[in-house]
Structure 1
Amino acid sequence: MTTVPAGRRRGPSKGDLRERAILETARRLLADKPLADITIDELAAGAQISRSSFYFYFDSKLAVVVALLHGLAGELGRDSEPWLAGTGPDVPALRASLTALAALWRDQGRLIAGALAAAPGCPPIAQWRAGLREAHVARLAARIERDRAAGLAPDGPAPRVLAALVDDLRTAAFAAAADPEALVDDLVTVELRMLYGDLPVPGFVVPPSQP
């Protein structure tokens, strides 16, 4: 029996590596075509396992997609943390958060858009979307409350209502965009106006109107 020396961490198991290979294969395939056109055989071949072995790790293509989505949720939460945890019209933090979100939509837009479209008729994906939205809305609403209490933002719609509007705006804008990263500056402008109205924002200049 092989033992691991004290102080050394055991590396990923063969099963872990195969599961990752399935997920990476799905991620790669979804960049080129919708889930409906991807087969179990393709996922198994990409992971260099048999079709029967695939079912040891996932019971369906949907299970693979849900696993990918939960991974994306972690990325979204990490990239948004500095903005959501802060106070006041912190333009760099907001721009950094939206830039990271745009890059995620650029790289994983087919997966995210497909998941959003499937959510109404698919409880696992609907639960993922509801949890992701609630986490963002709750954190943003808390930020709005802090800013209003400190006199950094004007009164307006209830914080949760305003936060939900911001979340829905982001999702709709990125889902419809051919180039998500081109939206970042416009979204920064719109979100600052939604949260802070006409209050002066240090370091922010409203882009000039296009002719």
Structure 2
Amino acid sequence: MAAQSTTTEVRRRGGPTKGDQREAQILEATRTLLAERTIDELTINAIAEAAGVSRTAFYFYFPTKQAVVAALLDGLWDQFGSTHGWMDTDGIDRDALLEHHRLVAAVWREHAAILTCTTGGNSVDFEPLVAWVDRAHQRLIDALAGKIARDQAAGIAPAGVDPVVLAEAVSALRDARFPEIAKLRGAAFERALADLTSVVLRVVYGRIG
């Protein structure tokens, strides 16, 4: 009987708890509401009502609406990381960079409502959104600066500008372009990806292929 009781307890602990379910409801409600309004227009009351929880219950799981959005952004962390294949290569490899940009645009397109919360407005000035943005930028800059440094050392990329400075310039360029590129379709989308790829290669290598 003791063995059976232990097994039952393990199974019970292995499933989602009521708290897990409520947290998931808050996250999903926020995701849905952000498709209809900006984060500045979003209220905790609206999130709690859509999630089917009280305002008091909301605060048990998240201190602010920005914290909910940051949790949603954390769910995209690995998706963005999986797009970084070009950073691990040596040399220009235009096709790989174009594919990298295509994958990033796909993440932006699928999750635009969440990612738009990081692109401006009053809310981005508050933690924890700014912390997530800083971490994402730093990961990109570290990976890209490493690639640039390797290619400069190999004589593939021109020396003279610090790799970190170049990586920061590319990061700023991407931040400005991806929200708009993700809205495009068809030939306009393909042209925008190709143009971004050419500009990045020109900045880093002084040539586009």
Fold in common (TM above 0.5): yes
How many angstroms apart in 1 are the aligned matches of 2:64 and 2:141?
31
Return the offset for 1:161. Answer: 0.7
Deviates more, 1:43-52 or 1:131-140: 43-52
* TM-score, normalised relative to structure 1: 0.80
Structure 2 counterpart of 1:97, from 97, 100, 119: 100
Who is 1:116 aligned against? 119
**Matched letter for residue 119 of structure 2:** L
Who is 1:48 aligned against? 52
Percent of aligned positions that are identical: 40
* Paired residues of 2:118 and 2:124 also in contact (CA < 8 A): no
* Paired residues of 2:62 and 2:68 also in contact (CA < 8 A): yes
1:173 is aligned to 2:177: yes
**Matched letter for residue 28 of structure 2:** E
Q: Extract unaligned runs of 5+ from structure 2.
A: none
* TM-score, normalised relative to structure 2: 0.80
What aligned pairs does 1:126-205 form with structure 2 within 5 A after superposition? 126-177=130-181, 179=183, 182=189, 183-198=192-207, 201=209
Q: Runs of at least 4 residues of structure 1 off by over 4 A? A: none
How many angstroms apart in 2 are the aligned matches of 1:32 and 1:104?
19
Deviates more, 1:173-182 or 1:39-48: 173-182
Deviates more, 1:136-145 or 1:36-45: 36-45
Root-mean-square deviation (CA), in Å?
A: 2.6
Deviates more, 1:174-183 or 1:46-55: 174-183
What aligned pairs does 1:65-104 form with structure 2 within 5 A after superposition? 65-80=69-84, 82-104=85-107
In 2 relative to 1, CA 38–172 (structure 1 residues): closer, same or farther, beyond 3 Å?
Answer: same
What aligned pairs does 1:15-34 form with structure 2 within 5 A after superposition? 15-34=19-38
Aligned length: 197
Q: Extract unaligned runs of 5+ from structure 1.
A: 202-211
1:3 is aligned to 2:9: yes
Return the offset for 1:143. Answer: 0.4
